[in-house]
Amino acid sequence: MGLHVSEKRYIIGFFIIYICFCFVMDVKLHYRVINYSIRPDNGIKYESSVPCDLNPFCVVTAKGLMLDYINFYIFGPLAALADRTIGFSKCLWLSPNAISFSHVIVATLAGHLVSNKSLTQRRIGVILFQIRTWMDDLDGLVARKRKNISGERSDVGSSGYFIDAICDGLGTTALLIGIFCYLKSYSPRQRGYEKLQPMIPLVNTNQIGSCVVQKKKIRFNNVLPTVLLITGTLIGSSIAWNRYIDLYQVLLETDNVDKLISKNELFTRQTQVFRSNSFWVITTAWKLINPHALTDYILASIFFDRLWEYLHAARWISYIIIVVLVYFTDFQYFQSDAYIKNVPDQLVSEIFMNSTGS
């Protein structure tokens, strides 16, 4: 089962528009970071023509810069718009945790639809899972508003932080189970039929020239290992991504003043790290490799009816990309930490060598 030519054109056109939109938004975000203040009273203040909760450029945070495109530029503002319209954060009976548990139910339904033989049903499952992602943005927005936290930040160590992580994990597990059931039961690329060479029967002469096509069922034993490998990439990406969000939040968004530098100097150095090319390369890479982005790639492959091709191609290369990104992120973080804490330059390489066990 494939896509019609006209359908392919519409989908490809949509994705081209989406990519151009993300590129333009990234350029605007970079301009905002370079030309306006990031830390308090450290440059020209950024003035927004729309409410800041709807504008992802207002408050610049490490997590925001590392968040995937669809969450940061689309679902985040849509969640804020829904909150302004309906007032979720003002409904005290509706807790962020309740929203988190609700999107697990939506994800479970999405996983069930993704396991369906019908491509239409699977596409509906993809849309439902994206609704779950929007709800995940909504619970974070409600939690931050009730704690008067502005911008994209993780409240590391709170009960809501762990509950949200558990619910995200359950939702993704439901999707992966649906994918496994589909590949094991319906995928024509995994359990289809292969035509063998035509055979000429010798029963009577009237049948000479007619072909009898035998079919042999194709069985693949690597469906489960492939799904498990993809699951591993999601887990590895999630652990690393959340770790670096926590580290960079503490490093770049703290107001604690080291004895060696003044508060103004601290803010200046934090701003310089935010504006550095190396930090932008690292955060852009995490936008593309974080667990939300990796899940979006899987969803896109389902929508395009190319699920197995994607999983089979990504099952090993994803690990290599994540390991390389973790190495360079560690190096960039160490350099930024040393600079902000005013570690003398001659000690930087020595400390790094000791930290890597060389």
- Clarify whether residues 198 and 182 are in a common domain: no
The sign of the torsion formed by the CA atoms of 99, 102, 107, 109 equals negative
Give which of 284, 326, 297 is closest to 67, Cα–Cα: 284
The residue segments making up the domain with residue 344 are: 5-186+221-355
- Clarify whether residues 280 and 141 are in a common domain: yes
pLDDT above 90: percentage of residues in the chain: 63
- The end-to-end CA distance of the chain, in Å, is 54
Per residue in 245-276, pLDDT (tens digit) is: 999 999 999 887 666 778 888 999 999 999 99
- Clarify whether residues 168 and 199 are in a common domain: no
Per residue in 200-246, pLDDT (tens digit) is: 444 444 444 444 444 433 345 689 899 999 999 999 999 999 999 99
Q: How many CB atoms lie within 10 A of CB 42?
A: 17
Amino acid residing at 48: S
- Clarify whether residues 179 and 47 are in a common domain: yes
Which residue is listed with tokens 């995490």? 286
- Clarify whether residues 118 and 207 are in a common domain: no
Given this model, what pLDDT does residue 160 score?
A: 86
- Clarify whether residues 181 and 263 are in a common domain: yes
Three-class SS state of 217: strand
**Which secondary structure element, helix H or strand E, spans residue 216, and what is its range?**
strand 215-217
Q: Are 315 and 230 in contact (CB under 8 A)?
A: yes
- Clarify whether residues 123 and 267 are in a common domain: yes
**Overall domain count for the chain:** 2
Of 176, 202, 218, the last residue of a domain is 218
- Clarify whether residues 243 and 96 are in a common domain: yes
- Clarify whether residues 214 and 226 are in a common domain: no
Give which of 90, 97, 115, 250 is closest to 159, Cα–Cα: 97
Per residue in 25-63, pLDDT (tens digit) is: 999 999 999 999 998 877 889 988 888 889 999 999 999
- Clarify whether residues 164 and 282 are in a common domain: yes
- Clarify whether residues 269 and 199 are in a common domain: no
For the domain that residue 68 is a member of, what is the CATH number?
1.20.120.1760
- Clarify whether residues 210 and 263 are in a common domain: no
